[in-house]
A and B are shown apart, each in its own frame.
Chain A
Amino acid sequence: NAGVMQNPRHLVRRRGQEARLRCSPMKGHSHVYWYRQLPEEGLKFMVYLQKENIIDESGMPKERFSAEFPKEGPSILRIQQVVRGDSAAYFCASSRDRSTEAFFGQGTRLTVV
């Protein structure tokens, strides 16, 4: 039973490019959460999605960032026109429903050069 799968594990982008981070939840899980971990910081909540719906995006930056979780396929966190400050580890977690424990993936480490 595979855990939460994130890819790529490492991503390097030049300033101004787009970054796409993928998260495949655990089997049977339809709720996905994205978190960002900046250097020397804890994880910060970004967005909570259920299949085809954004439930809570209160932690998402207002510009350049978007997330989706389509009916089929992985959840995608998209960062347009990346800047150096976007360099961070991005973690995805999934849960079966709203009230059960979430399991974390190994993260995608984005470096903007």
Chain B
Amino acid sequence: AQSVTQLGSHVSVSEGALVLLRCNYSSSVPPYLFWYVQYPNQGLQLLLKYTSAATLVKGINGFEAEFKKSETSFHLTKPSAHMSDAAEYFCAVSDPTTGANSKLTFGKGITLSVRP
């Protein structure tokens, strides 16, 4: 069984400040890991994904995440927050051994607010 933990439900940063959204996972096999963003009343958009290649993954909109097996973490970062980054962010994991890479287990999500 797999699970994802996203501690806290809300993060607030100032515009231009570092964004750090934490994600820890539990998986009995080497997982695939994903970060999605959801704007109000919208669907989910993929920010980036880790699929066992480079451990530092770069995504869209300046976001990146680092897979750390020893810490079972996949934290999302962005050096400088922009007002348009305000949204809800979900970390997700899949079990590639099932062959169904898009059957995802999601965390509860974190709402990011950006202060002017």
Binding site for B on A (CB under 8 A): 4, 31, 33, 35, 40-45, 48, 55-56, 91, 93, 95, 98-107, 109
Interface size class of B (residues with CB under 8 A): 20 to 34
Bound-state Cα–Cα, A48 to B96, Å: 15
The docked-state distance in angstroms from the alpha carbon of A91 to that of B43 is: 7
Tally of contacts, chain A with chain B, CB under 8 A: 67
Q: Are B101 and A91 closer than 8 Å at their CB atoms? A: no
Smallest CB-CB A-B distances: 7 pairs: A102-B102, A42-B106, A104-B43, A106-B43, A104-B44, A43-B106, A42-B108
**Interface hub of B4, B96, B100, B108 (most chain A Cβ within 10 A):** B100
**Is residue B99 contacting chain A, with contact meaning CB distance below 8 A?**
yes
Q: Which residues of A contact B46 (CB under 8 A)?
A: 101, 103
B109 nearest CB neighbor, chain A only: A42
